[in-house]
Amino acid sequence: MQSETILLIDGENFLHKVKDVLKENKIDPKQADISRIDINFLLVKSLGQYRISRKIFYAAKLHFNEETKKKSMELILQQRYLKTQLIKQGFEFLIGGNVRSQKVGNEIIFREKGVDVKIAVDMVSLAADKRAKTIILCSSDSDLQPAINEAKKRNVEIVYLGFEMQPNKGLSYTTNRTILFRNSEIQEAVVNGEKD
């Protein structure tokens, strides 16, 4: 069985961080279509020394909510477009959880559940089956630390791929190596994607 370098991206987490970077740099996220982001541009900038054989983007299944019809449809359409763009960029687009609406006071908020569990299971499975030599993990979820430790016990190098703005110290400590996206690279990747 061939060992590979595999990239695992926690999609909701990644998109949330991209929005944070845009806000920090005074770019209105409503004016920048992040569903068109050129992730391959970011990978070349940050991970040029790695030859990535698989790129997996984990997303959560969106459910239509009668109380927020317009917002629900907007999110569903945005995810469909993102999926199409990522497949064009050579990604596998996996549904690994659900986004559910929840009423908090007078407000309806959307929460993602289950993606981190799917990523953790895949990390341990790839390591146990000796299908990965290196796993590059793009997530800021500290709940993944036990899975990281299990993969490392099986001699898999784990690289934490985070963001210059607010990197996760726990993941930096637990993984073999940390690589951070620069804010300027994120902005450029969003702009490059919009040109396509």
Residue 129: is it exposed, middle or buried by C-beta count within 10 angstroms (0-12/13-18/19+)?
exposed
Pairing of strands 132-138, 107-113: unpaired
Total domains in the chain come to 1
Distance CA(192)–CA(36), nearest Å, equals: 8
Question: Which of 5-19, 28-42, 45-59, 81-95 shows the lowest mean pLDDT across its residues?
Answer: 28-42
| Secondary structure E strands in 28-182 | 54-62, 92-104, 107-113, 132-138, 157-163, 177-181
Structure tokens at 30: 């409503």
Residue 133 has pLDDT above 70, yes or no: yes
Is there a contact between 150 and 36 (Cβ–Cβ < 8 Å)?
no
Average confidence (pLDDT) over 128-147: 95
Per-residue pLDDT tens over the stretch 67-125 = 667 777 777 888 889 999 999 999 999 998 766 666 667 776 666 667 899 999 999 99
Crossing angle of helices 11-24 and 115-128, in 10° steps, is 120
Question: Which of 51-60, 93-102, 106-115, 177-186 shows the lowest mean pLDDT across its residues?
Answer: 106-115
Residue 67 lies in domain? 4-195
Average confidence (pLDDT) over 31-51: 87
Which CATH number do you get for residue 128?
Answer: 3.40.50.1010
Q: Which residue has the higher pLDDT, 100 or 22?
A: 22
Distance CA(69)–CA(129), nearest Å, equals: 43
Taking the mean position of all CA atoms in its chain, how far away is CA 37? 12
**pLDDT value, residue 69:** 73
